[in-house]
């Protein structure tokens, strides 16, 4: 069994990008380029409310994913076994 980082509550994401920056810090980078996690802003087709989509690169498993999940203020990310 391998532990992976997964979005468990995308609808709760506020777009703060704390997960993106934590992932980058673990690679000793500050910025958005080549990030293994990306956050995209969009709009809900029905309500027109802002929503966020999180894209997680499978290579993020080399990082401390527990730490990345724990920095999310809304528990949008979770570590699950695959």
Q: Which residues bind another protein (CB under 8 A)?
A: 12, 14-18, 21, 24-25, 28-34, 38-41, 43, 50, 55, 71-74
Shortest distance, CB of residue 2 to another protein, whole angstroms? 26
Minimum Å gap between C-beta 18 and another protein is 5
CA angle at 57 for the pair 75 and 2, rounded to the nearest 5°? 75
Rg of the chain over all Cα atoms, to the nearest angstrom: 13
Contact 26, 63 (CB under 8 A): yes
Least distance to another protein from the beta carbon of 61, Å? Answer: 20
């Amino acid at each position: 069994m391998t532990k992976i980082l997964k979005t468990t509550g995308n609808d709760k994401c506020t777009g703060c990008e704390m997960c993106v920056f934590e992932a980058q810090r673990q690679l000793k980078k500050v910025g958005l380029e080549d990030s293994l996690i990306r956050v995209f802003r969009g709009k809900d087709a029905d309500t027109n409310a802002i929503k966020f989509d999180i894209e997680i690169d499978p290579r993020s498993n080399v990082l401390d994913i527990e730490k990345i999940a724990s920095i999310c203020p809304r528990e949008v990310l979770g570590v699950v076994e695959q």
